[in-house]
A and B are shown apart, each in its own frame.
Chain A
């Protein structure tokens, strides 16, 4: 996860990120890692297990929101922390991926902030100079 994979965006009350990817599947995987970096530290998670993730939605924007909400549910509900994602199938209304990670251990996985949810606020997915760029705001 390099510094060019994503950057943090300001919001008066909450926080957002701008993620970059060469392809849409890469953009979606990096967006998930950007969100998890705000909540915790993905690098502290060991890729001990593979978790299958699949989401369908109405269009590309809502697919991104629903995908991130799926990852957040695994993190906050199933208490699994991920190190990385491998997208296996992708179209604008569906994504299938494998999340590499392990069950959360409060002693090894330091939490930063509780991410409540993913919002549609100023949501953007666009192509800029040969790269896919996503901007997403999270409720903190």
Chain B
């Protein structure tokens, strides 16, 4: 594999026709991150993405890139809406896995003395759903509406405030959802799981704002130093997983018909303008809406938990909610021409700059908020989308720190209780439904989030607004 350094932050893997690549791969990374990235198959996977029919621009790799299935995690690929393909694996099994940041009216000093109580309360009120189901009791008819209306249905039915939906990407509901494209199996898996966090890297974290880097943006987002905030990371649960499973199978069966051959079956795709492609996108939108409804239910239960501990003194407002796994139709200037493309973001975040009309009016002067969770022992970041993302990365940046160790390697030689005590000594309380939940997500398992942020900040894709430190972690 030939890798050329473009500058200190950008690397190119030139198009290799022998491998069927239709375009280059561009990797955003420092030299140090590049050395880590080269240890797994993620760059091979980014090269495979470059073989997909109709890819526009380059196959992009963010600094948090790591090996996934088919697509790498931390990958961005834009497809021509007329001649390109859509790949369910390019969105991922957890459709609209995403994060929302909630700001509170409380400061760290007020929360610290009651932190254990708060964490226990949240753990009771916000189920992880690893072994059991959630607390949202809805019927099949309600689910039908949720698949179309997403977070909007939730706020209209007592699970939040109108502002919550307004301050979510796409207003908390994507247009184009068709519940008929979602299988009975997907509904069956999803229905009892609404309002649950899930396991793996999903979490709910009580954090405080450690430092503010951009006062103007922080003020616009309602964030200040010392403030307690909550970061929620979850997705579309079993409903989205089943939608992806169903359509990977549909695409695998129809690829021969569409004369598509691929280096990896997990990339299975179909033309955007085909029955299979259109149906998948209609189902994907429905699953994305379910994910927004899920995060909305979690926010509702979180408000209840804060209320029980701090009473009326605690007010919780949503700063914003962004997707990590999604395919969206957006318009960009490509080689001097305005084009509509389908942007696949697989472990990547939309990062629209100041002035973009899809950003809520309150934030339009500073750019879209972007949240980058680090690991549970380190830090998370609030960024603001910048112009560079529009020019170079189809309005996208990274989504996390990126894994360094496998789950098995992270567990090896470690004891969950000891690790929990170590985190507690550093002022971080962890509550997990499963033993492995803690061990597999330890800080040592992840790259340094600050290094990842430096790259996107210095490359002009997004700018630093604030650094957040964890206080309490709830995990599946």
Contacts and interface: CB of A to CB of B under 8 A. Distances in A.
B189 A58 contact: no
Interface string A80-112: 000000000000000000000000101001111
A119 B67 contact: no
Chain A interface size, under 10 / 10 to 19 / 20 to 34 / 35 or more: 35 or more
Interface in B108-131: 129-131
B434 A112 contact: yes
A58 to B, nearest CB: 7
Contacts of B199: 113-114, 140
B93 interface: yes
B249 A117 contact: no
A113 B265 contact: no
A95 B241 CA distance: 23
Contact of B67 (A12, A114, A116, A140): A12
A6 B18 CA distance: 37
Contacts of A73: 185, 189, 242
Chain B interface size, under 10 / 10 to 19 / 20 to 34 / 35 or more: 35 or more
Given A119-B266, A140-B407, A113 B189 contact: no
B68 interface: yes
A77 B69 contact: no
B408 interface: yes
Contacts of B175: none
B238 interface: yes
Contacts of B200: 113-114, 116, 140
B344 interface: no
B73 interface: yes
A76 interface: yes
A123 interface: yes
B198 interface: yes
B311 interface: no
A81 B109 CA distance: 46
B245 A112 contact: no
A12 B403 contact: yes
A68 to B, nearest CB: 10
B265 A123 contact: yes
B149 interface: no
B264 interface: yes
A15 B407 contact: yes
Given A13-B68, A137-B69, A121 B238 contact: no
A8 interface: yes
Which of A13, A79, A119 has the most C-beta atoms of chain B within 10 angstroms of its own C-beta? A13
Contact of A11 (B244, B245, B406, B476): B406
Given A111-B130, A116-B94, A121-B264, A139 B407 contact: no
Interface string B252-263: 110000000000
Contacts of A123: 265
B66 A12 contact: yes
A140 B131 CA distance: 15
A116 to B, nearest CB: 4
Contacts of A137: 69
A93 B399 CA distance: 39
Nearest to A73: B185
Contact of B249 (A66, A78, A139, A140): A66
Interface string B391-405: 000000000000111
Contacts of B249: 62, 66
B434 A77 contact: no
A50 to B, nearest CB: 21
Given A12-B405, A77-B185, A120-B264, 16 more contacts: A10-B409, A13-B201, A13-B407, A14-B407, A15-B406, A58-B252, A78-B188, A104-B131, A106-B132, A109-B131, A111-B131, A112-B434, A119-B70, A120-B69, A139-B92, A140-B407
Interface of A: 8, 10-15, 58, 61-62, 66, 69, 73, 76-79, 104, 106, 109-114, 116-121, 123, 137, 139-140
Q: Sort A-B residue pairs by CB-CB distance and give the 3 closest, nearest first.
A: A10-B406, A120-B265, A106-B131
30 contacts: A12-B403, A13-B403, A14-B69, A15-B408, A58-B252, A62-B252, A69-B245, A76-B238, A77-B185, A104-B131, A106-B131, A106-B132, A110-B131, A111-B130, A112-B436, A113-B200, A116-B94, A116-B200, A116-B238, A117-B93, A117-B245, A118-B245, A119-B70, A120-B69, A120-B70, A121-B70, A121-B264, A123-B265, A139-B92, A140-B407
